[in-house]
Amino acid sequence: MNGAVIALAVLDEDGPAPVLPALYLGGRFTSAAGLPVAYVARWGRPTATGDQDGDGLASRSDYAVLAGCLEGPDTALASSACCPFDFDYDEDTDLRDVAAFQAAFTTP
Ligand SMILES: [Ca+2]
Ligand SMILES: [Ca+2]
């Protein structure tokens, strides 16, 4: 983070499930965790890596889960199992996330 944090808020956007609550930070910063941001950052959700099964790779077994998560733009995540595929953190699993998964894809 390259500037001061001046506001904090916990927000559970979808109520009790499936997406976990997150801490939102607002302030005078334009990067967080090495990524460009516009004065707002979120902390507390798993980092999207495409590795849903936890084997350290975004691979075919993860793709099988991703296929079930694909809902399209601006549609809520189907379940918390879909969080590893929301690469752009906009609470959906759409073709932008699929493109990011493709970039992360590894063949064991
Ligand atoms: Ca995996
Ligand atoms: Ca997304």
Find the 2 Cα to ligand 1 centroid distance in Å: 32
Instruction: Say if 78 falls within a structural domain.
Output: yes
Q: Considering its fold, how many domains does the chain have in total?
A: 2
Does any domain span residue 25? yes
Ligand with the closest atom to the CA of 61: 1
Q: Ligand 1 mean position to 65 CA, how many Å? A: 10
Q: What is the pLDDT of residue 43?
A: 82
Note the ligand closest to the C-alpha atom of 52.
Answer: 1
Are 24 and 89 contacting, i.e. CB atoms less than 8 angstroms apart? no
30, 64: one domain: no
Residue 38 within a domain:
yes
Q: Which of 31, 29, 33, 102 is nearest to 70 (CA)?
A: 102
Confidence category of residue 27, pLDDT binned at 50, 70, 90: very high
Residue 25: the pLDDT is: 94
Range of the domain at 64: 60-104
Ligand nearest to the CA of 100: 2
Q: Is the peptide bond before 21 cis (omega within 30 degrees of 0)?
A: no
Higher pLDDT, 21 or 70: 70
Three-state DSSP at 63 gives helix
pLDDT at 46 over 70: no
Determine, yes or no, domain membership for 93.
yes
| 19 pLDDT higher than 70 | no
Within a domain: residue 52? no
Q: Looking at the domain assignment, is residue 33 inside a domain?
A: yes
Question: What is the reported pTM?
Answer: 0.59
CA-to-CA distance for 82 and 64, rounded, in angstroms?
11
- Spacing, Cα 56 to ligand 1 middle (Å): 5
- Residue 97 lies inside a defined structural domain of this protein: yes
Q: Using N-to-C axis directions, what is the helix angle for 95-104 and 60-69, rounded to 10°?
A: 170
- The Cα 56–Cα 64 span in angstroms is 16
Minimum-distance ligand to the CA of 98?
2
Tell me the per-residue pLDDT of 55-99, one tens digit each, with 9 for 90 and over. Answer: 989 999 999 999 999 998 988 888 888 988 998 888 889 999 999
* Residue 49 falls inside a structural domain: no
- One domain for residues 65 and 98: yes
